[in-house]
C-alpha cells in the first residue's frame, strides 16, 4: 500500500510539472528604453535618461501574469544642487501584474501592466563618486503597449509607461524631497517557456 501511495504521488508530481511546462507559463523580458522626467528634482535639470529592466513573469491565468524584476535608470544633470555633471541613478526592484490579450487573429496583442517599485536614488558626481543614496522605498508604475508575436515563443513589446518614486536626499546637510517621476519609452524582447 505504501508503494502504491508513493507511486501515485510521484505520478501526480510528474503530470503536474509536465502540464506546467507544456503551457509555457513562464516568460523572461529585457526592456531597454528612454526616460523623460516630467519635472526636475529641486533645481537639477534632468536630461533625457536611459535604462533597462529585466523581469520574469508567470501566467497564473490565460492572459494575466505576475512579474518581478530589477531595473537601472540614469538621468544626467549638467547643473544641480549636487554640483556640475551629476548623475541621478534609480535602481531597484519591480513587481506587479501584466495583462496581454490578443487582438483578433493577428500577431498583435494589447499589453497593460501595473505594479510597484522598490527603488533608491543615487547621486554620483562626474568622477563616479556617490554623493548620496536615498535608501530604498516604495513607488508605483503603470504601462501599456503591444506584444508582437515573432514566432518560436519570442515577442517584441513596445511600451510606454509612467513611474513615480519619492525619496529624501541629503546633500550638504540639506534634505531635499526628491520626486522622480518620468515617462518611459521602452522596447522589450520576451521569450516564453
* The pLDDT value given to residue 3: 67
| Contact in structure between 11 and 23 (CB atoms under 8 Å) | no
What is the pTM (predicted TM-score) of this model?
Answer: 0.84
Q: How far apart are CA 171 and CA 180, in angstroms?
A: 16
Number of structural domains in the chain: 1
Say if 20 falls within a structural domain: no
Say if 15 falls within a structural domain: no
Q: How far is CA 178 from the centre of its chain?
A: 20
* The pLDDT value given to residue 66: 98
* The pLDDT value given to residue 153: 94
Query: Model confidence over 27-70: pLDDT tens digits?
Result: 999 999 999 999 888 888 899 999 999 999 999 999 999 999 99
**3-state class of 116 per DSSP?**
strand
* The pLDDT value given to residue 38: 95
* The pLDDT value given to residue 42: 85
* The pLDDT value given to residue 16: 55
Say if 134 falls within a structural domain: yes
| CATH number of residue 178's parent domain | 2.40.160.20
Domain containing 153 equals: 25-192
* The pLDDT value given to residue 96: 98
DSSP line for 8-21: HHHHHHHHHHHHHH
* The pLDDT value given to residue 173: 79
Calculate the dihedral angle through the C-alpha atoms of 77, 83, 87, 92, rounding to the nearest 10 degrees: -120
Residues sharing a CB contact under 8 Å with residue 186, sequence separation 6 or more, in sequence order: 31, 32, 33, 34, 53, 143, 145, 157, 158, 159, 160, 161
Say if 111 falls within a structural domain: yes
Say if 169 falls within a structural domain: yes
Calculate the dihedral angle through the C-alpha atoms of 36, 38, 43, 44, rounding to the nearest 10 degrees: -20
- pLDDT tens, residue order, the chain (193 aa): 666 666 667 665 655 555 455 467 999 999 999 999 998 888 888 999 999 999 999 999 999 999 999 999 999 998 888 778 899 999 999 999 999 999 999 999 999 999 999 999 999 988 888 989 999 999 999 999 999 999 999 999 999 999 999 999 887 778 888 899 999 999 999 999 9
Say if 115 falls within a structural domain: yes
Amino acid at each position: 500500500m505504501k508503494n502504491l501511495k508513493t507511486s501515485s504521488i510521484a505520478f501526480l508530481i510528474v503530470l503536474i510539472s509536465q502540464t506546467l511546462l507544456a503551457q509555457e507559463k513562464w516568460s523572461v523580458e529585457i526592456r531597454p528604453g528612454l526616460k523623460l522626467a516630467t519635472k526636475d528634482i529641486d533645481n537639477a535639470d534632468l536630461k533625457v535618461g536611459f535604462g533597462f529592466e529585466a523581469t520574469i513573469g508567470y501566467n497564473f491565468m490565460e492572459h494575466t501574469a505576475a512579474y518581478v524584476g530589477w531595473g537601472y535608470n540614469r538621468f544626467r544633470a549638467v547643473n544641480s544642487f549636487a554640483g556640475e555633471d551629476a548623475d541621478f541613478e534609480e535602481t531597484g526592484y519591480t513587481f506587479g501584474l501584466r495583462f496581454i490579450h490578443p487582438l483578433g487573429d493577428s500577431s498583435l496583442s494589447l499589453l497593460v501592466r501595473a505594479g510597484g517599485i522598490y527603488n533608491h536614488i543615487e547621486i554620483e558626481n562626474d568622477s563616479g563618486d556617490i554623493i548620496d543614496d536615498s535608501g530604498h522605498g516604495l513607488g508605483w508604475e503603470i504601462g501599456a503597449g503591444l506584444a508582437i508575436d515573432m514566432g518560436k515563443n519570442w515577442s517584441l513589446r513596445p511600451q510606454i509607461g509612467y513611474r513615480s518614486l519619492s525619496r529624501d536626499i541629503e546633500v550638504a546637510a540639506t534634505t531635499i524631497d526628491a520626486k522622480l517621476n518620468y515617462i518611459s519609452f521602452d522596447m522589450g524582447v520576451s521569450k516564453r517557456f
